[in-house]
Amino acid sequence: MHVRASEVAQAVGGRLVGDDVTIDGAGIDSRSVRPGQLFVPIVAARDGHEYVSSAVAGGASAYLTSVGPLPDVAAPAIEVTETAAALADLGGAMRDRLPDRVVGVTGSVGKTSTKDLLAGVLATTYRTTASEKSFNNELGLPLTLSNAPDDTEAVVVEMGARGIGHIDLLCGIARPTVGIITRVEGVHLELFGDIDAVAQAKGELVEALPVDGLAVLNADHARVAAMADRTDAGVLTFGLTPAADVHAADVVLDDQLRASFRLHTPWGEADIRLGARGEHQVPNALAAAAAAGWLGVPVDVMADGLLGAALSGLRMELSTTAGGVTIINDAYNANPTSMAAALSSLAALDARRRVAVLGTMAELGADSTTEHVAITARARELGVDVIAVDEPDYGDDARHVPDVDGAVAALAGLGSGDAVLVKGSRVAALERVAEALLGG
């Protein structure tokens, strides 16, 4: 959004030093800052103030600072007490300029894909802005709001949580009018303690909705469905059960793992074909359809949006090597629920042999070993061989290798008609296995 530097200073409680230039959005990475943006130096493991000069050289028109104007930087400065807090304040101020079509999406799994699918559907009818990648925290969310173009008509923001109160904090910035809860699962238990705490945290989204807003809840998951009692907003349910307000019937997968189904909604029915791969994307598409329908997107138009929606990278990317090996690169992240879904997708492929190259599932707490062994057991049930990369918890039924090179070497015997799934938590960075197999 275009705004004057003086307006930014007022919004964040800061002091402008220098010219009252026009600012077009904000960035926190000096390497990717765009011309006209405000550079926000975050103080963390590294002090972002060290990169202000680079950001200005890259085109930043002004910068925030908590250490005073920098003498070697020829750009206006906005002095603040703490830069991250000022970014949150800026996001909240930019929210004031947006219409009340702001959708917050959270859940243990599926929130990024749901965000992407919903953005695709809303874009058929409204000029839509959505969180990039998984920009879902106290930095990413205000960046999304601050970078929304001036003509934005709808916004979709992903909301992550690493503890009680995090979603509430994000809602205070974005003030969503629609909230989607995908699922509640035993994810990040090392941080939350138990699944009830996860549900408590995720439900903060529906508690923050206005009375004339909408909560979109997964009818197939009891902890999510129960959140209807935690909101004063209206409620629409989605799911595979026919009892849900928005549900799917006759789900089938094609040979590229893309689902087709009959969509049933309060506004009518339509035949849907997803561009996103995996049967587990069907509930995500239903959540998107529920929110979009309530916001006025016609049902027949939803089909185009769901088919054409572009998912964030490293999620169920299907490729074939020169030797005819099918690769599913789902390496962005992993937890027991998403891992089981990805294994089912692998098993659905028409393949001679199926192998899963799996990295760690992080932050599972005391249940880590049990959950990893359960994934190996599930793979065996599906006829999938497991290669575990630097994660002993997958147990004796997995083949263990120390690193990416070891995984690539273990796959050397694969050929035409074989299929490989590559998946792990972000810390494992297993996309390197897929890149090596594809010659990247």
Q: Which helix (H) or strand (E) holds 2?
A: strand 2-4
Distance CA 202, CA 56 (A): 38
Tokens linked to 98: 């947006």
The model's pLDDT over 139-194, given as tens digits with 9 standing for 90+, comes to 999 999 999 999 999 999 999 999 999 999 999 999 999 999 999 998 888 889 99
Do the beta carbons of residue 51 and residue 72 sit within 8 Å? Answer: no
Q: How far apart are CA 10 and CA 189, in angstroms?
A: 40
Q: What would the DSSP string read from start to end of 120-134?
A: HHHTTTS-EEE--TT
Could you give the 3-state DSSP secondary structure of residue 105? Answer: strand
Asked whether the predicted pLDDT for residue 106 surpasses 90, the reply is yes
Beta strands 26-27 and 385-389: pairing type? Answer: unpaired
pLDDT band at 199 (very low <50, low <70, confident <90, very high): very high
pLDDT band for position 381 (50/70/90)? very high
Q: Is the pLDDT of residue 338 over 70?
A: yes
**Is the pLDDT reported for residue 440 higher than 90?**
no
pLDDT at 74: 94
pLDDT at 182: 98
- Distance in angstroms (rounded) separating the CA atoms of residues 411 and 368: 26
Tens digit of each residue's pLDDT (9 = 90 or more) over 21-72: 999 999 999 999 999 999 999 999 999 999 999 999 999 999 999 999 999 9
Inform me whether the pLDDT recorded for 425 exceeds 90. yes
Q: Where are the alpha helices (DSSP H) in 296-352?
A: 299-308, 336-348
- pLDDT range class, residue 223, cuts 50, 70, 90: very high
Mean predicted confidence (pLDDT) in 364-374: 95
Identity (one letter) of the amino acid at 362? A
DSSP three-state, residue 60 = coil
Q: What is the pTM of this model?
A: 0.95
Q: What is the pLDDT of residues 129-150, one digit of tens each?
A: 999 987 999 999 999 999 999 9
Domains of the chain and CATH, by start = 2-81 (3.40.1390.10), 98-308 (3.40.1190.10), 317-437 (3.90.190.20)
Half-sphere exposure of 335 (CA within 13 A, CB side): 16
Q: How far is CA 139 from CA 28, 90, 166, in A?
A: 8, 11, 12
Categorise residue 129: left if φ over 0, alpha if ψ from -120 to 50, beta otherwise: beta
Contact 307, 274 (CB under 8 A): yes
Q: Is the pLDDT of residue 287 over 70?
A: yes
Report which of 265, 247, 183 is spatially closest to residue 218, judged by C-alpha positions: 183
